[in-house]
Chains A and B, each alone.
Chain A
Amino acid sequence: MLRLEKRPVPSKAWTIATPLLAVLATMVAGGILFAILGKDPVEAIRTIFWDPLFSEQFAAYSRPQLLVKAGPLILIAIGLSFGFRAGIWNIGAEGQYIMGAIAGGAVGLAFYPTAGWYIFPLMVVAGAAGGWAWAMIPAILRTRFNTNEILVSLLLVYVAEHILSAMSFGLLRNPEGHGFPGSRNFKEYDSVSNTELIANSGMHWGVVAAFIAVIFAYVIMTRHILGYQITLAGQSPRAAKFGGVNPNRLIVLCLGASGVLAGLAGVFEVTGPAGQLTTDFNQGYGFTAIIVAFLGRLHPVGILLAGLLMALTYIGGDLAQLMMGLPKPAIQAFQGMLLFFLLALDVLTNFRIRFKKSEAA
């Protein structure tokens, strides 16, 4: 009989090994899925994981895309990881990301066509504030009325999506856009355009912000008392209270941090790769970032790697759709498997499997 036995101390080796094993298991299970769909599994896996980086035909386009896609994922996931470590479940980063893009974009559009170096920084600040304000709604409802932040933050995503569509059809619509929905194109407005910093690298300000966030989060989590309090509150709420941690302050702080970073990601995305506020500029990064946060074990460096990996499956997934005609839901299922296997294998970090004969009474 198989038995799970709790380890006295969580295994360090398994903490590192489970993400790698999860990726391998996803490749195997995904391969089976693709085979059932009648595609060559080896080719499919190669198209997803290898071709975007190394194929002569695609790499020139795909490689910069890696940073373009990983940037917002990492930025949002770092913000989420604070709350997730503390047991505060912000599922609505997508909404904070959208509201950041709207707030930041609106500030930029208000200045049109003025030129000035100060406009872009102002937009960044407005974007952070927009994301923060949207995150404060679940935070205040939770601290004042003890509502569930999972539900509130998630439902606010749909509210944000409606505001986004109202904005791109109404208030922020391009007056010279011949009636098409969507704002002015930020790429054609030099003062606000978030262009590539190094040609053909995909590196834009959002990626820089993501790298800074990784370093910042690493220092907070390992060296600062706040990081300790966050971990403590997540592991043992009663001990945290005994240690003088104010749970409400932590909720406001963690939700605020993820709101700010999601808002930043929004403004960088809309001024850079997306270029325009439209009803579908957002790409669902806010939700995917949840997977990235867990895949990276809520650790800043892990999130950096997980963000890159997730971006790769996105780009490779697109490529596989294009080249092999794989249906989009199959790619999404493939990405979902990654989280599934990670969580399933996670058991091994805290438990060891023992084979034991059932005891005779």
Chain B
Amino acid sequence: MTEKLLTIDGLTKAYPGVVANDKVSFGIDAGEVHALLGENGAGKSTLVKMIYGLVRPDAGNMTLMGNAFSPPEPRVARAAGVAMVFQHFSLFEALTVAENITLGMENPPKHRELSARITKVSHDYGLPLDPERLVGELSAGERQRVEIIRCLLQDPKLLIMDEPTSVLTPQEVEVLFHTLRQLSSEGTAILYISHKLDEIRDICDSATVLRHGVVVDTCNPREKSARELAEMMVGSALHEPLRDAQAFGDVVLELKGLSVPSATQFGTSLKSVNMTVRAGEILGIGGVAGNGQDELLAAMSGETPSADTTVTFDGNGIGTLGPNERRALGILAAPEERLGHAAAPDMSLTENALLTAAFRENLVKNGFVDWASTRTFAKRVIKEFDVRTPGTRTAARALSGGNLQKFVIGREVLQTPRVLVVNQPTWGVDASAAAQIRQSLMDLAASGAAVVVISQDLDELMEVSDNFCALNEGHLTRPHPAKGLTVEEIGLMLGGMEEQEAANA
């Protein structure tokens, strides 16, 4: 048996409150296309950052071509033959392709020589690209080619690709796969990060599955079905729902055929979303980030208004109402982005308490802010939700992620909402704070509020939800009772298969 190109042995990296990688070990052969598979937050990014020298491991060893390998910075990793194409490009739009590539090189050759090499490499690997074009004029796929060619000019032994197809059209994916196969046949190993199971089965020779920072399995993805891979990724030990099925009240909030075009270039449009949530119910909405979660929350919170009857509350159309008018009715929300969306970073906790509670808690009288009452309310949030902070004068950005999240959730829960919509309520939050937040959401539902939890964490959704739907490229599936839902069913819903199935039935 030949020696592995790269061997990873017991790599461990811990961040405060979370172990991102726990004794991760696997190996990659020369010319192998190796998939790194896992949910968001499973530790894929941390792992490749360690290989690329962006993050230093706490423990463990790497061996590259028989030599010990511990790059202190990306430059060393590149010199050793490791190249990486990031999910987000680092290109200057006002410069040409050739100029951008020059910037990333240690000893750039003369302009004409480089242009010739770019043309040659792009021709050899079927990645057409004109070195003199401005990057600003290129499509996302073409920009990715610039990044790939930048890597190929270094003759890498190992090419790391972080979710390369997320920005590509299906045709561009075909071209990319062709290039990757050619590279692999020439002996370049590729570490391919994705959670798109079909792609991995299409192109990868082997796969390492990560879950909560631990290697769960290593397999040949071609021998497994997409369903089996999903099961490995999600883990077969899904929590049984802790909540018993119970009688719910009337429908409180309903979305009917809600379509919202994306506000930004990189957003996802909502496509004819139907959703109901009843008093006392927790509706879990799963899905991989970027499938319309932010847009869905904004449509419910009132940040994105829509046609009057597409959003109804107690049967009345409220689509055109703004955030504060909806808050007055009792529809509250906690967005995913804590700093800059749910809270203003440089403002104190008192000021941030006013952000959403101004009118529902009667903190503003005749247009004037009652700062004493606002402070009292902020103190109540801090006390009841165990927010660790020196006091109400502390700026929001001085709080740790978990503490700020407790504050944000507490601020909404204590306003006794009739509907609460939360997006990624425990993202980046340590385990004890997360448990506390989930418990508060369940208590809120038990008191008769309708709760919508949007999350990527399937364990979390299975723990708190009564009903479960999945969001996939702006489509929302029909709800299913969370109890008794199998991993396969969830995998199919997340992959957007469920609607087709329903159509066939």
Chain A residues within CB distance 8 Å of chain B: 8-10, 223-226, 228, 231-232, 235-236, 238-244, 246, 361
> A10-B395, A232-B351, A239-B341 provided; 14 other pairs, C-beta below 8 A?
A9-B394, A223-B369, A228-B351, A235-B346, A236-B341, A239-B343, A240-B344, A241-B303, A242-B323, A242-B335, A242-B356, A243-B324, A243-B356, A361-B72
Q: Which of B323, B335, B344 has the most CB of A within 10 A?
A: B344
A236 to B344, CA, bound (A): 6
Closest to B333 in A: A242
Q: Which of A9, A232, A239, A241 has the most CB of B within 10 A?
A: A239
Nearest-neighbour CB distance to chain B for A231, whole angstroms, equals: 8
> Could you say which residues of chain B place their CB within 8 Å of the CB of A10?
346, 395
Across the interface, B340 reaches (CB within 8 A) one of A8, A9, A238, A243, namely A238
If A8-B395, A228-B351, A235-B347 touch, does A223 touch B368 (CB 8 Å cutoff)? yes
Chain B contact-residue range equals 35 or more
Nearest-neighbour CB distance to chain A for B101, whole angstroms, equals: 25
Would B340 and A239 count as touching, CB distance under 8 A?
yes
> Could you say which residues of chain A place their CB within 8 Å of the CB of B364?
225
A189 to B340, CA, bound (A): 56
If A242-B323, A244-B327 touch, does A8 touch B398 (CB 8 Å cutoff)? yes
If A235-B344, A236-B345, A242-B335 touch, does A228 touch B73 (CB 8 Å cutoff)? no
The A contact surface, by secondary structure, is: helix
Q: Tell whether B367 is near chain A: CB-to-CB under 8 Å.
A: yes
Across the interface, A238 reaches (CB within 8 A) one of B333, B341, B371, namely B341
Would A242 and B303 count as touching, CB distance under 8 A?
yes
Interface string of B311-355 (1 = CB under 8 A from A): 000000000001111010000010101001111111100010011
> Could you say which residues of chain A place their CB within 8 Å of the CB of B343?
239
Nearest-neighbour CB distance to chain B for A238, whole angstroms, equals: 5
If A235-B347, A238-B341 touch, does A224 touch B355 (CB 8 Å cutoff)? no
> Could you say which residues of chain B place their CB within 8 Å of the CB of A235?
344-347
Q: Tell whether B269 is near chain A: CB-to-CB under 8 Å.
A: no
Q: Tell whether B480 is near chain A: CB-to-CB under 8 Å.
A: no
A360 to B72, CA, bound (A): 10
Q: Tell whether B12 is near chain A: CB-to-CB under 8 Å.
A: no
Closest to B338 in A: A239
Q: Tell whether B358 is near chain A: CB-to-CB under 8 Å.
A: yes
Would B347 and A232 count as touching, CB distance under 8 A?
yes
Chain B residues within CB distance 8 Å of chain A: 72-73, 301-303, 322-325, 327, 333, 335, 337, 340-347, 351, 354-356, 358, 364, 367-369, 371, 394-395, 397-398
Nearest-neighbour CB distance to chain A for B361, whole angstroms, equals: 13
Would A225 and B398 count as touching, CB distance under 8 A?
no
Would B322 and A244 count as touching, CB distance under 8 A?
yes
Closest to B346 in A: A235
A225 to B367, CA, bound (A): 6
Would B355 and A242 count as touching, CB distance under 8 A?
yes
Q: How many A-B residue pairs have CB under 8 A?
A: 73
> Could you say which residues of chain B place their CB within 8 Å of the CB of A246?
322
Across the interface, A244 reaches (CB within 8 A) one of B324, B340, B394, B395, namely B324
> Could you say which residues of chain B place their CB within 8 Å of the CB of A236?
340-341, 344-347
A231 to B345, CA, bound (A): 12
> Could you say which residues of chain A place their CB within 8 Å of the CB of B395?
8-10
> Could you say which residues of chain A place their CB within 8 Å of the CB of B368?
223-225
A232 to B355, CA, bound (A): 9
What 5 A-B pairs come out closest when comparing CB atoms? A244-B324, A236-B344, A8-B398, A244-B323, A243-B355
- What are 26 of the A-B contact pairs (CB < 8 Å)? A10-B395, A223-B368, A223-B369, A223-B371, A224-B367, A224-B369, A225-B367, A225-B368, A226-B367, A228-B351, A228-B354, A228-B369, A235-B346, A235-B347, A236-B340, A236-B341, A236-B345, A238-B337, A239-B341, A239-B344, A240-B344, A242-B355, A243-B356, A244-B322, A244-B323, A361-B73
> Could you say which residues of chain B place their CB within 8 Å of the CB of A243?
323-324, 355-356, 358
Nearest-neighbour CB distance to chain B for A222, whole angstroms, equals: 9
A9 to B395, CA, bound (A): 6
> Could you say which residues of chain B place their CB within 8 Å of the CB of A228?
351, 354, 369
> Could you say which residues of chain B place their CB within 8 Å of the CB of A238?
337, 340-341
Nearest-neighbour CB distance to chain B for A345, whole angstroms, equals: 19
> Could you say which residues of chain A place their CB within 8 Å of the CB of B333?
242
Nearest-neighbour CB distance to chain A for B231, whole angstroms, equals: 38
A223 to B395, CA, bound (A): 19
If A225-B364, A228-B354, A361-B73 touch, does A242 touch B301 (CB 8 Å cutoff)? yes
> Could you say which residues of chain B place their CB within 8 Å of the CB of A231?
347
> Could you say which residues of chain A place their CB within 8 Å of the CB of B324?
243-244
> Could you say which residues of chain A place their CB within 8 Å of the CB of B347?
231-232, 235-236
A361 to B394, CA, bound (A): 36
> Could you say which residues of chain B place their CB within 8 Å of the CB of A240?
344
A10 to B344, CA, bound (A): 14
> Could you say which residues of chain A place their CB within 8 Å of the CB of B398?
8-9
> Could you say which residues of chain A place their CB within 8 Å of the CB of B346?
10, 235-236
Closest to B297 in A: A242
If A224-B369, A225-B367 touch, does A242 touch B354 (CB 8 Å cutoff)? no
> Could you say which residues of chain A place their CB within 8 Å of the CB of B342?
239, 242
> Could you say which residues of chain A place their CB within 8 Å of the CB of B337?
238
Nearest-neighbour CB distance to chain A for B335, whole angstroms, equals: 6
If A225-B364, A226-B367 touch, does A242 touch B341 (CB 8 Å cutoff)? yes
Nearest-neighbour CB distance to chain B for A352, whole angstroms, equals: 14
A224 to B364, CA, bound (A): 8
If A8-B398, A235-B346, A361-B73 touch, does A225 touch B369 (CB 8 Å cutoff)? yes
A317 to B493, CA, bound (A): 75
A225 to B345, CA, bound (A): 18
Nearest-neighbour CB distance to chain A for B21, whole angstroms, equals: 22
